[in-house]
Amino acid sequence: MQRWAGTALLAGSAAAYSLAGYFTRLIPLDVMTLLFWRGIFGGLMISGLVLVQYRGAAWATTRAVGWQGLAVAAMGVLSSYLYLAAFRHTTVADVAIIYATLPFMTAGLAWVLLREREGWRAIASSMIALCGVAIMTGGALHAGHLAGDLLAFAMTLTFAVTMVLLRRGGRQVSMLPAVAIMCFLTSLAAAPFARMGPIESLPLLHLALFGTCQLGLGLVFLTFGMRRVPATRAALIGLLDAPLAPFWVWLAFSEVPPTLTLVGGTVVLAAVLWNISGPTGAAEAAG
């Protein structure tokens, strides 16, 4: 039961994260302003959840996250900005393919830090998903973008660290306060470059939805899901973001995805479904 609850939560997290492209297209503001307001609304939403869930113990719960919680917050902020920097120095295809190596990075870190070992099914599923992302993005890394590709690699690594720390810390204490801190730190870092002036009511409503439905729910589902599912499987489920993102844009803006996107997305979805339908491995039993 824990396994399937965690899988559902992580699938929900991927669905929430996949809305980023939709909201970015919907809201006519610059990236730093989007990051600032998204972090504010997401942080307020998660902080409210902490207050409701823990009431008088909310402050003690926040202090209990310790160094691991602060590391989660720092890695999350760093990952967000490396993500943006990578897009400025390389192609979307390069970033997507490099990010698809997340399950492999997570598997290595989970083995070192958590002693979670994944079987052949998880590794094979990750390889299939990586091929699916490669198909979606045209299949090849581009030459001459070394700096951007290194930034994308660093972004993927920091997110893998974030996931493993959420898995490790979440076994003992709630990591919800840590992800709330992450949201506010992201806003603080974006504040010098963000638009602070008056924003019309409709864009402000969209920003609130961006922060709560995309970032807030994504982080809440991720935090609870990581307590129930091994880190490598969680990273693989997170790749559902890739085929879902163009689906929302198609629904909202009638942009028909290219054939390669549909084919590659189907491969990613099949890889994830094949993995989660398999028997529980040793790593899961240990978790």
Q: Nearest Cα to 83, choosing from 24, 152, 184, 22?
A: 152
SS3 (DSSP) at 196 = coil
| pLDDT band per the 50, 70, 90 thresholds, residue 279 | low
Helices 92-99, 146-169: inter-axial angle, 10-degree rounding: 30
Number of domains in the chain: 1
Contacts of 146 (CB under 8 A, 6+ apart): none
Domain range for 64: 2-286
pLDDT at residue 282, as a whole number: 44
The letter for the amino acid at 202 is: L
Residue 278 DSSP symbol: S
Asked if the model's pLDDT at residue 280 lies above 60, the reply is: no
Q: How far apart are CA 236 and CA 35, in angstroms?
A: 25
Strands (E), 180-285: none
Tell me: the pLDDT tens digits for 61-106?
999 998 989 999 999 899 988 888 887 788 877 888 888 999 999 9
Tell me: the pLDDT tens digits for 94-137?
888 888 999 999 988 998 888 888 788 888 999 999 999 989 88
Across 139-166, average pLDDT: 87
Across 143-154, average pLDDT: 86
Tell me: the pLDDT tens digits for 159-215?
999 999 999 887 788 899 999 999 999 999 999 999 887 889 999 999 999 999 999
